Amino acid sequence: MSSTFGKLFTLSTWGESHGGSVGVVVDGCPAGLPLCEADVQKELDRRKPGQSKITTQRAESDTVSFFSGVYQGKTLGTPIAMNVVNQDQRPGAYDEMRDKFRPSHADYSYQMKYGLRAVEGGGRSSARETIGRVAAGAIARKILTLATPIRIVAYVESIHGIRMPELSSAPNEEAVEANAVRCPDADYAQQMYDLIDAVRKDGDSVGGVIRCHVSGCPAGLGEPIFDRIEADLGKAMLSIPAAKGFTVGSGFEGTLLKGSEHNDLFEIRDGIIRTKSNYAGGTLGGITSGEELTFRIAFKPTATILKEQSTVDLSGNPASVIGKGRHDPCVLPRAVPIVEAMTSLVLVDHWMRQHAQNRCFEFQQ
Amino acid sequence: MSSTFGKLFTLSTWGESHGGSVGVVVDGCPAGLPLCEADVQKELDRRKPGQSKITTQRAESDTVSFFSGVYQGKTLGTPIAMNVVNQDQRPGAYDEMRDKFRPSHADYSYQMKYGLRAVEGGGRSSARETIGRVAAGAIARKILTLATPIRIVAYVESIHGIRMPELSSAPNEEAVEANAVRCPDADYAQQMYDLIDAVRKDGDSVGGVIRCHVSGCPAGLGEPIFDRIEADLGKAMLSIPAAKGFTVGSGFEGTLLKGSEHNDLFEIRDGIIRTKSNYAGGTLGGITSGEELTFRIAFKPTATILKEQSTVDLSGNPASVIGKGRHDPCVLPRAVPIVEAMTSLVLVDHWMRQHAQNRCFEFQQ
Amino acid sequence: MSSTFGKLFTLSTWGESHGGSVGVVVDGCPAGLPLCEADVQKELDRRKPGQSKITTQRAESDTVSFFSGVYQGKTLGTPIAMNVVNQDQRPGAYDEMRDKFRPSHADYSYQMKYGLRAVEGGGRSSARETIGRVAAGAIARKILTLATPIRIVAYVESIHGIRMPELSSAPNEEAVEANAVRCPDADYAQQMYDLIDAVRKDGDSVGGVIRCHVSGCPAGLGEPIFDRIEADLGKAMLSIPAAKGFTVGSGFEGTLLKGSEHNDLFEIRDGIIRTKSNYAGGTLGGITSGEELTFRIAFKPTATILKEQSTVDLSGNPASVIGKGRHDPCVLPRAVPIVEAMTSLVLVDHWMRQHAQNRCFEFQQ
Amino acid sequence: MSSTFGKLFTLSTWGESHGGSVGVVVDGCPAGLPLCEADVQKELDRRKPGQSKITTQRAESDTVSFFSGVYQGKTLGTPIAMNVVNQDQRPGAYDEMRDKFRPSHADYSYQMKYGLRAVEGGGRSSARETIGRVAAGAIARKILTLATPIRIVAYVESIHGIRMPELSSAPNEEAVEANAVRCPDADYAQQMYDLIDAVRKDGDSVGGVIRCHVSGCPAGLGEPIFDRIEADLGKAMLSIPAAKGFTVGSGFEGTLLKGSEHNDLFEIRDGIIRTKSNYAGGTLGGITSGEELTFRIAFKPTATILKEQSTVDLSGNPASVIGKGRHDPCVLPRAVPIVEAMTSLVLVDHWMRQHAQNRCFEFQQ
């Protein structure tokens, strides 16, 4: 239940880590959008394993196939099914986990919820599921790029204790992609890289913070009361594996300011209504204000570590486990495209909702 | 669009701050639940204005009336409509705001979204809308209390720079209700009270952090992939006015730990499977683990302050505004029951979803 | 569960026949629509009891009050709650039904589903619930009238064995409203009236068929695969109390034709693409074709009759019941505005959906 | 938009007739259900082309592959993706249709809705889409069979003017499958077969009526107000290609009876509460009564005929078309498993909903 996301532009994902495939079907995509597999592959390549020494070495090309919904290079307006075959399957490698619950993984909670689970690679709880989201997000992003002024950039802001200086607006996309960490500040990126690599050699893991900026977003997106833009973005981000926190604008640090310091005063700038500061992070009352939307997501350190840990087994006996071979010592570099994908999906959906309610009848225009 | 929340146990709220009434209709409530207006009024009284010197003095009794769905003291299984008439309306008091956008309020974004807005008291963007949520949450809480082991306690953990020591498990509900701030630590509560009162006298405002604990929650609630328990709780919390951040378990601070420190090791305790630590905050892979669910919400300082602020008017000319009379210098004490209400609603809904999928056919029992 | 209808323009109804009130909250209504209570009252008056000798004499003014969502004569884009207080309550009148199941009423099935029921007037299963739909439908109809070319007319086509000649296109609205039966053919209307009156005097009841025409509907509305326009209209109609069948276009009679007879050939007429015949009833593949949408709904004879009938009681003992006093010997005249309301709701929703998907991005325009 | 069906047990289908594949992802399936591809293939084989001389000769094995959601022979509770590759593609065969609108097909309405369309075989509007439904329905049916007393049988009741005598209860499944028409009365089946074959030779087509019986259904399923069991079944049936009408119980013929004739009187039979007649068709107030659910669906004659027909082309010029080669002269025999699949899906969903609301809390049991 609930592998579907979105109200008007919806995606439904499927797939276990070591099952036949992972994939997604996108429904509600507008007709007439130019689209080919390369548009999607480009984003999948940013997410795929083995991009550098500091990501998992699982050998997956993550090649996408379209099954439907695209005809002669354009979307039909019908569901677009996209599939990625799982290639590097090592069934035997997970035998030990059949009976033991890996700490801070979902083995135990899946077992309790469903009464059984796909053991290999965590099954459905594997981050491989996010392939479907990135594929769907690539379509959403193409819509935004072609047909709206909205642009999205996410990047790694901190890894463990290393935190780059706060940016006042979105960095250049190229600067983010220029290094394996996806931190736009080259110096900090190097420090982060070195830390991740050291942690990797030690068989341990680290977490950090990803920040995302949405520029060019017009005022008026977001649906009070419950589907506020920050509520829907928050849900989207908190649905990403390993996410433990979400803040918009000033977040928890804003609680240290007084109202007189935190309020964003309106002014006329460049001929339009703007705010002098942006503690709000681009949203007022759940609706975009026209200022840059900006939010952060905390990702915990990867649960898989190559160290022995105590646990219990299915029968409730003490046991120990130790992670094997291929893992990400830090999920953040590969999570950046996932954050961008989910952001794209939320914004396309809200764009459609706002237009449906407030732009589609004659008396509104 | 989107004043409805929940998949199986749903609520739809209505109402502007100074319109005829605010209210809610709850659909999907199980039949046969003993319920009377006093069950709901009790929670509304915890939210209502004028409870102490540090909350707004708007004179509202917030008396609830049931219109449907309850018969001879029991729920019928049909929609329960609950209404609260707006009493203390001062239409003239808001004339100045008709043309000016109050900083960090939703005046501007509503105007841009809808092309018009109810000026008085912020209209739909007023926190009065949460009356409907608290009323619906009171029903959800009664279900949890009568028919499940789940118990929910929220409290103010910090106000501005004053932060009480971290609790390792849920505090006593009476300790929370013992003071006007709703902080279970009496000493810190007093410091917080004094700060809020000082800020109030200065015409300024402060924010802070509310923490919530859910105990007694069985393993297995939460629906991957998108409706993870933390994603749905996060959305619920981020839909509350003034909320700017949400974390579960270790949150942003967890990013400063390594995997070997952050992983929660399984053990057998009191004869059942438990974890030694609870950095996860009670959720693994989006599904409850049986440990206490615990999360925090950041609330910004109230936007309304009794100081002059610069802004612009509808025509785009520079202007200034100054807050009038009745406002909350700090929303957190009254937000505690809202947090509990939203938490109750999410948990009842997920309980129903888990049972529908995984408990209702013969081969599953 | 499921007192909500619509995806973008949604209504949630509440209310038992003899509870405090019946009402509805409409969410997703576009902002800026001129709207006042009289717009809604006009439609409620067409549905209300006591309009003539052949409808129930229950004394209800069915006066609507707006609680929210309208400001200075225009919709705000926020939920519009509308309430109608139940006035003519006769609690004692239903004591006998407390223990007995009335034949062909919902007493038994509600009891089995919920374990209890509001006895008086059938509680939630009463057709009084449709007040909320008619109120919401009045708003939808106003949107269609003001901002689209779509026009809707329903009427009684047959009562029991009396069937007016088939119309080739929508009749004049005034002709429908000219008589108490709401049949646009005055002669047949009189025959129907006389039959209903005779049946009424005999304490019996009759059913019949309502037909509805939607003209001015552009091609392109309807969402394959599942939300085809005829599927959504069918669901809407079959959700009306006493409805037992729905057909679009040629319906069951079309099964007696061959493909070569039934196919609607395209031609150019008045400069645009039209079909020579309209056996399809205005829908091809679930999407409107631009031809008149036309469909029929069968309503069974009213279950309440003033004759003694055998039944069983709550304890499973044989019993007998006899209808009391106020009832509709035929629901069709009052069902006409309900059919129109549900049709309006479906069309506004689909208009919004079509525009959201296929008209709101730049490359589509 | 809207290729998803169901609230708790949901399916999302994809696929164009001559695209890469048609398929479906099922979400919300209970965990632990024994399931293999053969369970699904069995139903697909009943739907596939080429079963007899009177169905289309398109050469498709319609072999299903599972991509996810099943592990070691049991469902995981996660999404089950099922795929069927399109094999017999003849792209050139449809060149003529690129510019012309086939009468009573969806060519024109798709073109108007989306601005483009997949020409070959009707693209998304092809009945090949129903493969996904039959696959999903096979899972739903297995749940019903294994874990509930509910049994479903559909069959062809009439073809064109040939109508078998009305049955008072569900026929034997074997009798239905004993002939190519799927009519349980062998004599009528032969007459129908001969008629279809004659029509086929003439290049023409016929329609008819399918009737469905649901036995063993407990009282209490169905969700008033809008998701009545007959409303949800009606929508499901009206979403099947070529369906033009739906009736439950007495349907349109019931309008010829008086209330005193039509009411189903309660009695005690075999120790339980039953009704003497079943004009209601097993539903009272939208909720199952425990009597057999029974309903009918009208299917129009197939639009494709091998006769020349006049039409217009994309530029609005007069043109003519003639159907080519492979088509079903009558869709009903192959529609029987589709009707059963959709019925299974509706009933599993409603079973889950009823249990979620009214069986899952302690005070209800």
**Which residue of A12, A361, A362, A365 to mutate against C (max C Cβ within 10 Å)?**
A361
Contact (CB<8Å) A69/D16:
yes
Q: Which of C115, C258, C316 sits opposite D206 (nearest CB)?
A: C258
Contact (CB<8Å) C81/B3:
no
Looking at the predicted structure, is the pLDDT value of residue B365 above 70? Answer: no
pLDDT at A52: 87
Band (B91; pLDDT cuts 50, 70, 90): low
Contact (CB<8Å) C254/D232:
no
Mean pLDDT on C51-75 = 91
SS3 labels along B243-277: EEEEEECCCCHHHHCEHHHHCCCEEEECCEEEECC
Shortest alpha-carbon distance between residue C352 and chain D (Å): 12
Name D77's Cβ contacts closer than 8 Å, sequence gap at least 6.
A113, A114, B357, B358, D29, D30, D31, D32
Q: Please indicate, yes or no, if residue D318 is contained in any of the structural domains.
A: yes
Chain A residue numbers with beta carbons less than 8 Å from the beta carbon of B267 are 310, 312, 318
Band (A365; pLDDT cuts 50, 70, 90): low
Which of B51-65, B203-217, C144-158 shows the lowest mean pLDDT across its residues? B51-65
The residues of C whose Cβ lies within 8 A of any Cβ of A are 7-8, 28-33, 77-78, 143, 146-148, 224, 351-353, 355-364
The Cα–Cα gap between C239 and C130 comes to 10
The Cα–Cα gap between A40 and A64 comes to 7
- CATH number of the domain encompassing residue D255: 3.60.150.10
Looking at the predicted structure, is the pLDDT value of residue C49 above 80? Answer: yes
Looking at the predicted structure, is the pLDDT value of residue B56 above 90? Answer: no
Q: Which of A7, A147, A224 sits opposite C363 (nearest CB)?
A: A147
pLDDT at A56: 80
Domain extent at residue C210? 4-358
Q: Which of D55 and C273 is assigned the larger pLDDT?
A: C273
pLDDT at D325: 63
Identify the three-state secondary structure at position B282: coil
Q: Please indicate, yes or no, if residue A365 is contained in any of the structural domains.
A: no
Looking at the predicted structure, is the pLDDT value of residue B55 above 90? Answer: no
Band (A91; pLDDT cuts 50, 70, 90): low
pLDDT at C100: 95
Looking at the predicted structure, is the pLDDT value of residue C74 above 70? Answer: yes
SS3 labels along chain D: CCCEECCCCEEEEECCCCCCEEEEEEECCCCCCECCHHHHHHHHHHHCCCCCCCCCCCCCCCCEEECCCEECCEECCCCEEEEEECCCCCHHHHHHHHCECCCCCCHHHHHHHHCCCCCHHHHHHCHHHHHHHHHHHHHHHHHHHHHCCCEEEEEEEEECCEECCCCCCCCCHHHHHCCCCCCCCHHHHHHHHHHHHHHHHCCCCECEEEEEEEECCCCCCCECCCECHHHHHHHHHHCCCCEEEEEECCCCHHHHCEHHHHCCCEEEECCEEEECCCCCCCEECCEECCCCEEEEEEECCCCCCCCEEEEEECCCCEEEEECCCCCCCCCHHHHHHHHHHHHHHHHHHHHHHHHHHHCCCHHHC
Average pLDDT, chain A: 95
**What are the angstrom distances between the C-alpha of B301 and each of B17, B241, C183, D223, D246?**
20, 11, 63, 44, 58
Shortest alpha-carbon distance between residue B195 and chain A (Å): 11
pLDDT at A73: 97
Mean pLDDT on B324-347 = 93
The Cα–Cα gap between B91 and B20 comes to 12
Contact (CB<8Å) B264/A222:
no
The Cα–Cα gap between B176 and B191 comes to 15
Q: Please indicate, yes or no, if residue C295 is contained in any of the structural domains.
A: yes
Which value does ipTM take for this structure? 0.98
Mean pLDDT on C187-191 = 98
- Residues found in chain D: 365
Name the burial class of residue B194, with classes exposed (0-12), middle (13-18) and buried (19+) by CB atoms within 10 angstroms of its CB.
middle
Chain B residue numbers with beta carbons less than 8 Å from the beta carbon of A317 are 268
Shortest alpha-carbon distance between residue C257 and chain B (Å): 44
Closest-CA residue of C relative to D278 is C104
Band (A362; pLDDT cuts 50, 70, 90): confident
Looking at the predicted structure, is the pLDDT value of residue A57 above 80? Answer: no
Question: DSSP assignment, residue C227?
Answer: B
Closest-CA residue of D relative to C205 is D259
Contact (CB<8Å) C301/D265:
no
User: What domain count does chain D have?
Assistant: 1
Shortest alpha-carbon distance between residue A225 and chain C (Å): 9
Cα radius of gyration (chain A): 21
Contact (CB<8Å) C32/A363:
yes
Q: What single-letter amino acid sits at D295? A: F
Average pLDDT, chain C: 95
Looking at the predicted structure, is the pLDDT value of residue B147 above 80? Answer: yes
The Cα–Cα gap between C178 and B304 comes to 57
The Cα–Cα gap between A273 and A285 comes to 17
Chain B residue numbers with beta carbons less than 8 Å from the beta carbon of C76 are 16, 114, 116-118, 123-124
**What are the angstrom distances between the C-alpha of A188 and each of A159, A179, A181?**
10, 11, 10
What digits encode the pLDDT tens for the residues A93-134? 778 788 999 999 999 999 999 999 999 989 999 999 999 999
Q: Please indicate, yes or no, if residue B19 is contained in any of the structural domains.
A: yes
Band (A351; pLDDT cuts 50, 70, 90): very high
Q: What single-letter amino acid sits at B249? A: G
Q: Which of D33, D146, D364 sits opposite B30 (nearest CB)?
A: D364
Contact (CB<8Å) D255/C125:
no
Q: Please indicate, yes or no, if residue C365 is contained in any of the structural domains.
A: no
Chain A residue numbers with beta carbons less than 8 Å from the beta carbon of C148 are 361-362
Mean pLDDT on C185-198 = 98
What digits encode the pLDDT tens for the residues B200-233? 999 999 999 999 999 999 999 999 999 999 999 9
Q: Which of B50 and C147 is assigned the larger pLDDT?
A: C147
Chain D residue numbers with beta carbons less than 8 Å from the beta carbon of C353 are 1-2
What digits encode the pLDDT tens for the residues A320-330? 999 876 789 99
Q: Which of A266, A310, A353 sits opposite B312 (nearest CB)?
A: A266
Distance of CA A361 to the CA centre of its chain: 35
What digits encode the pLDDT tens for the residues A204-252? 999 999 999 999 999 999 999 999 999 999 999 999 999 999 999 999 9
Mean pLDDT on A293-309 = 97
Chain D residue numbers with beta carbons less than 8 Å from the beta carbon of C302 are 259
Q: Within chain D, which residues score under 50 in pLDDT?
A: none
Report yes or no: B10 and B76 within 8 Å, Cβ to Cβ.
Answer: no
Report the percentage of chain B scoring pLDDT > 90. 89
CB atoms under 10 Å from CB of B218, counted, come to 15
Q: Please indicate, yes or no, if residue A338 is contained in any of the structural domains.
A: yes
Q: Please indicate, yes or no, if residue D346 is contained in any of the structural domains.
A: yes
What digits encode the pLDDT tens for the residues C79-107? 999 999 998 777 677 787 889 999 999 99
Q: Which of B55 and B240 is assigned the larger pLDDT?
A: B240
Buried residues in C301-323 as b, exposed as e (16+ CB within 10 A): bbbbbbeebebbbeeeeebebeb
Q: What single-letter amino acid sits at A2? A: S
Contact (CB<8Å) B67/C113:
no
Mean pLDDT on B236-256 = 98
Q: Tokens standing for C47? A: 């549905």
Identify the three-state secondary structure at position A262: helix
Mean pLDDT on B261-277 = 97
Which helix (H) or strand (E) covers residue C152, if one does?
A: strand C151-159
Name D205's Cβ contacts closer than 8 Å, sequence gap at least 6.
C258, C259, C260, D199, D301, D302, D303, D304, D305, D327, D328, D329, D330
Closest-CA residue of A relative to D24 is A25
Band (C149; pLDDT cuts 50, 70, 90): very high
Cα-Cα end-to-end distance for chain D = 39
pLDDT at D94: 79
Q: Please indicate, yes or no, if residue D364 is contained in any of the structural domains.
A: no
